[in-house]
Structure 1
Amino acid sequence: MVSHTPAKKSTIYDIAKATGSSTSTVSMVLNGTWTRYRIKEETAARILESARKLGYNVNMKARGLRLSRSGLAGMVLPHYRNRFFAGLAQTFEDQARSRGLCPVVVGTQRDPEVEVSVTETLLSQRVELLFIAGVRNPAPLNALCAAAGVPSINLDLPGDGAPSVVSDNRGGARAITDVLIDKLLARGASPAELVLLGGVMGEYATDMRIAGFRETFETRGIAPAPDAVECCGYNAASARQALAARHDRLGRLPAGLLMNSITAFEGLVQFTSTLSADAWKSAVVGCFDWDPFAAHLPFDVTMLRQDVQAIISEAFALADRHDPANRSVVIVPTAFGQTFEEAEQTKEFDR
């Protein structure tokens, strides 16, 4: 006679007894929090296998309990406010998906405590790699990744705890400074009036750009002004204030301006919008960063574009051949973005 009495469902107590584990350990493995509590992977594997054998209903995919791969790729970056970081995030997402990975991108607002907290959280979710972009001191994050056996790659700003991929800040600054000096000379203006505004002193990217700026003057046998470099940060408000102070001292804009980021460039646009057209058209302007809107501004601007596609591709290549001892720095060349004159020529061609 066949019995129609329902079979007794397995419980976590059955799994605990079968594996010799505590019920709390079994519970943490089954709800996916076992890595947070430093439970060994082999213990988790044994518990999950026992759960399957006993018919315990575990939705492995939904709970993220796969032990071999999580399928997650992580990135931390300061913010999405400029095209460079937004471009890094978008390119990272595209390339991660093309590799069958699910990208997770988190902004940390340059707060070291948030950077550590976010990294710990991503590691607890078993990300398979972590790209660390624009972090001034990535060493603590690299150490956390190394302890977890997860490859980490530093982007934009290098660090001593992992390999890094950065733009050629020094070479790019030399190239754009050369262009701006030539434009000043063509206008009959003194190159000594060229000013570099923005950035943070002591930060790698800013220091390299200052070095490239000064090297260009030295190569040409020209001396920059004593106050030619002003590190007033990256935000638009501080750049606007610094520019307003120089305008007050000179009674006009400096003949040449090289802005150290697109956000500093925004400060320039905000300030010059309060001036007459003749006043702001008199300046030669450059920016170490790129945004297509600048090609449509009604004054002469030269922009340097960082190659986010190459930066992310190089970072994935380093992750693919992960070597815990590797501390190399890959330098990616920059290129000039479209100028106002080129945009006008393109419009004419399109007509």
Structure 2
Amino acid sequence: MVRSSKGRKSTIYDISEATGTSVTAVSMVLNGSWTRYRIKEETANRILESAQQLGYNVNMRARGLRLSRSGLAGMILPHYRNRFFAGLAETFEEQARSRGLCPIVVSTQRDPAVETSVTETLLSQRVEVLFIAGVRNPTPLNSLCAAAGVSCINVDLPGSGAPSVVSDNRGGARALTEVLIDKMRTRGRAPEELVFLGGVAGEYATEERVLGFRDAFEASGNSPAADAVDCCGYNASAARQALAHGYESLGRLPAGLFINSITAFEGLVQFTSQLSRDALQSTVVGCFDWDPFAAHLPFEVTMMRQDVDKIISEAFALADNHDTATPHPLVVVPTGFGDVMDEDDQAIKHKYDR
């Protein structure tokens, strides 16, 4: 830590001396109560700048004071490795600029320590709004934002500490499962062979999609197999290993596969690349994610597409109407089928459009 000229840790007395203000005024600015006592904004800015120069440990509430518009809008997200998160980032940047804001997007690799550090840094730069995307436990970050007086919105994964915008994971998964079951029946395959692969047990999005998967079976008068759900994670290698294990047990691929992310879907592509070209022709495949590359694969796949434009628009709408009301609102955005579908898919899809 930077120390005072006397070699000790800086105190409010040092800040008072450096700025020519009273110790009481310094204390009020640093604890965030300066506006109640009619301290001028110019004075408050000078005190905060001096505190930073002297290395004083200013609390997050003081660091995030809305002393002036920064013109910055922040977003944190896990990574850019799939089209969904990349699409969220790109759409966020576009909509932020349309509002006269300069967007800052940072990936955190789902590391809670990095999420906290990045949030603190963005708040210290006085972002006017922070979108927290794909964070499994956003509550600590919501608390930091609340202490700093900064509006924050949870995106993709909800939390109780701030307004949230999520995809309709349950409804989308049900619609996708219904399509897969119908296609399996058309091909004379038992729906009970449909496997749900990918995601993280206990995580909101995965749990909602599993519920939608089971809803579709219940509506069709069938039940999934006892081991139909394999939450092996989102990464490609885990999905590839799970498929290899199932292939070894069955001597073939399952009759139907519901893949719970585009990264897990990559694991399917990697695994089947080692098989004969016909290995996937008898398997019905669906993915709760979308990427246009699927149109060039040697097998059919039905994809569920999340509406990133609507998600970001709803998030900004919540930010515009930010208040401290509890409970915070949860906005659920409908999903739709991607455009990588064959004629049979399109006919079946028409039955389930919502």
Question: What are the Cα deviations for residues 318-344 of structure 1, in whole angstroms up to 9, with x where unaligned?
Answer: 0001111151110000000012536xx
Deviation at 1:49, TM superposition (A): 8.3
Matches of 2:81 and 2:144, distance apart in 1: 27
Contiguous gaps of at least 5 residues in structure 1: 1-19, 27-34, 51-64, 346-351
Matches of 1:169 and 1:304, distance apart in 2: 10
Counterpart mapping for 1:1-351 below 5 A: 21-23=16-18, 42=39, 45-46=42-43, 67-326=67-326, 327-341=328-342
Matches of 2:19 and 2:237, distance apart in 1: 53
Deviation at 1:171, TM superposition (A): 0.1
The number of residues matched between the two structures is: 302
Residue pair 1:74, 1:130 contacting (<8 A) in 2 also: yes
Deviation at 1:36, TM superposition (A): 9.3
Residue pair 1:171, 1:212 contacting (<8 A) in 2 also: yes
Look up the equivalent residue of 1:215 and give its one-letter code: D
Residue pair 1:296, 1:340 contacting (<8 A) in 2 also: no
When the two chains are superposed, the root-mean-square deviation of aligned CA atoms in Å is 2.4
Matches of 1:25 and 1:36, distance apart in 2: 16
Matches of 2:20 and 2:242, distance apart in 1: 59
Matches of 2:103 and 2:201, distance apart in 1: 33
Question: What are the Cα deviations for residues 112-170 of structure 1, in whole angstroms up to 9, with x where unaligned?
Answer: 11111111110000000100000000000000001111011000000010110000000
Residue pair 2:34, 2:44 contacting (<8 A) in 1 also: no
Residue pair 2:45, 2:67 contacting (<8 A) in 1 also: no
Residue pair 1:194, 1:255 contacting (<8 A) in 2 also: yes
Distance 1:274 1:341, change over 3 A: same
Matches of 1:242 and 1:48, distance apart in 2: 57
Look up the equivalent residue of 2:333 and give its one-letter code: V
* SS of 1:153 mapped into structure 2: strand
Deviation at 1:219, TM superposition (A): 1.2
Look up the equivalent residue of 1:22 and give its one-letter code: E
Matches of 2:229 and 2:158, distance apart in 1: 23
Deviation at 1:90, TM superposition (A): 0.3
Deviation at 1:224, TM superposition (A): 0.7
Residue pair 2:19, 2:46 contacting (<8 A) in 1 also: no
Look up the equivalent residue of 1:205 and give its one-letter code: A
Question: What are the Cα deviations for residues 203-253 of structure 1, in whole angstroms up to 9, with x where unaligned?
Answer: 000000000001111111101111100000000000000001000000000
Look up the equivalent residue of 1:113 and give its one-letter code: A
Distance 1:44 1:302, change over 3 A: same
* SS of 2:342 mapped into structure 1: helix
Question: What are the Cα deviations for residues 6-29 of structure 1, in whole angstroms up to 9, with x where unaligned?
Answer: xxxxxxxxxxxxxx9422799xxx
* SS of 1:179 mapped into structure 2: helix
Q: What is the TM-score with the length of structure 1 in the denominator?
A: 0.81
Matches of 1:86 and 1:239, distance apart in 2: 21
Matches of 1:94 and 1:151, distance apart in 2: 19
Residue number in structure 2 paired with 1:62? none
Deviation at 1:281, TM superposition (A): 1.6
Look up the equivalent residue of 2:332 and give its one-letter code: I
* SS of 1:93 mapped into structure 2: helix
Query: 76-85 or 333-342, which moves further after superposition?
Result: 333-342
Matches of 1:147 and 1:268, distance apart in 2: 44
* SS of 2:160 mapped into structure 1: coil
Matches of 2:333 and 2:127, distance apart in 1: 26
Residue pair 2:132, 2:154 contacting (<8 A) in 1 also: yes
Matches of 1:280 and 1:294, distance apart in 2: 14
Matches of 2:227 and 2:185, distance apart in 1: 20
Matches of 2:132 and 2:40, distance apart in 1: 31
Residue pair 1:299, 1:340 contacting (<8 A) in 2 also: no
* SS of 1:175 mapped into structure 2: helix
Look up the equivalent residue of 2:342 and give its one-letter code: E
Question: What are the Cα deviations for residues 73-104 of structure 1, in whole angstroms up to 9, with x where unaligned?
Answer: 00010000100000000000000000000001
Larger radius of gyration: 1
* SS of 1:264 mapped into structure 2: helix
